[in-house]
Amino acid sequence: MPTPDEPRPIPGTAQQADADPSRSAGAGSAAAPVGTAVAPAHRRLLGLVAVLAALVLLVDQLTKAWALRALADGLRRPVLDSLLGLQLVFNPGAALSIATGMTWVLTIIAATVVVVVVRVSRRLGSPGWALAFGLLLGGAVGNLVDRLVRAPGPARGHVVDFIAYGHLFVGNVADVAIVVAAVLVVLQTMRGVQLDGGRPERVARGGAATSADDVPQ
């Protein structure tokens, strides 16, 4: 206890907090759960990417296996007149039959995309970006599997396409996932949403820098 000549700590001040270590420790422990809530949220987003990628890959490979059996004759089967049909095609190139003689290069590009998406996913904090990355990863792996295991050989395999869009080009489920992912990337970029879910700071009236989330939308 302080002697009569010693100043007593004033309640509610920093002096009081220094005099009572138990209160300071309690305040620190109460703030701890706020930071720990970030990790589970990040794990959920990574789980979303993994589940969505696996689902796209599964549907892509199952539909390709079906096309190899049901459309083996190579004939076109109309679905929406001449706008949409089913026709089995083995594509050595990219979409729109681009780079048909560069299968090795396309295989390397696809593998690079997969590695980059996996690495960048560690920074995810946005559900929108998680959706885009899951679709992109599943689509890239789906076509990469074809290039690695199908004829005429490893890294030179031709991709199985069977969704005919008019007389323009023929694609597959993996291509659809990649296109949707590209649209989501454009939308997220236009909205200013960063990978971690934040937004760039804007200079508000009066000169104060504020987050875009704080500005009325």
What is the domain range of residue 192? 41-196
At 94 the pLDDT is 76
In a domain, 120, yes or no: yes
In a domain, 124, yes or no: yes
In a domain, 4, yes or no: no
In a domain, 24, yes or no: no
Catalytic residue among 146, 161, 196, 214: 161
- Asked if the peptide bond before residue 152 counts as cis, ω within 30 degrees of 0, the response is yes
Tell me whether residue 18 is one of the annotated catalytic residues.
no
At 102 the pLDDT is 82
Catalytic residue among 73, 175, 196, 213: 175
Count the domains in the chain: 1
In a domain, 217, yes or no: no
Please state, in angstroms and rounded to a whole number, the distance separating the CA atoms of residues 136 and 139: 5
In a domain, 75, yes or no: yes
pTM, two decimals, is 0.75
Chunked into runs of 10 residues, the chain (217 residues) has average pLDDT values of 55 52 48 56 95 98 98 95 95 73 87 95 95 98 96 93 94 96 97 90 50 44
Tell me whether residue 196 is one of the annotated catalytic residues.
no
In a domain, 93, yes or no: yes
In a domain, 1, yes or no: no
Please say whether the beta carbons of 24 and 13 come within 8 A.
Answer: no
At 207 the pLDDT is 47
SS (H, E, C) the chain: CCCCCCCCCCCCCHHHHHHCHHHHHHHHHHHHHHHHCHHHHHHHHHHHHHHHHHHHHHHHHHHHHHHHHHCCCCCCEEEECCCEEEEEEEECCCHHHCCCCCHHHHHHHHHHHHHHHHHHHHHCCCHHHHHHHHHHHHHHHHHHHHHHHCCCCCCCCCEEEEEEECCCEEECHHHHHHHHHHHHHHHHHHCCCCCCCCCCEEECCCCCEEEHHHCCC
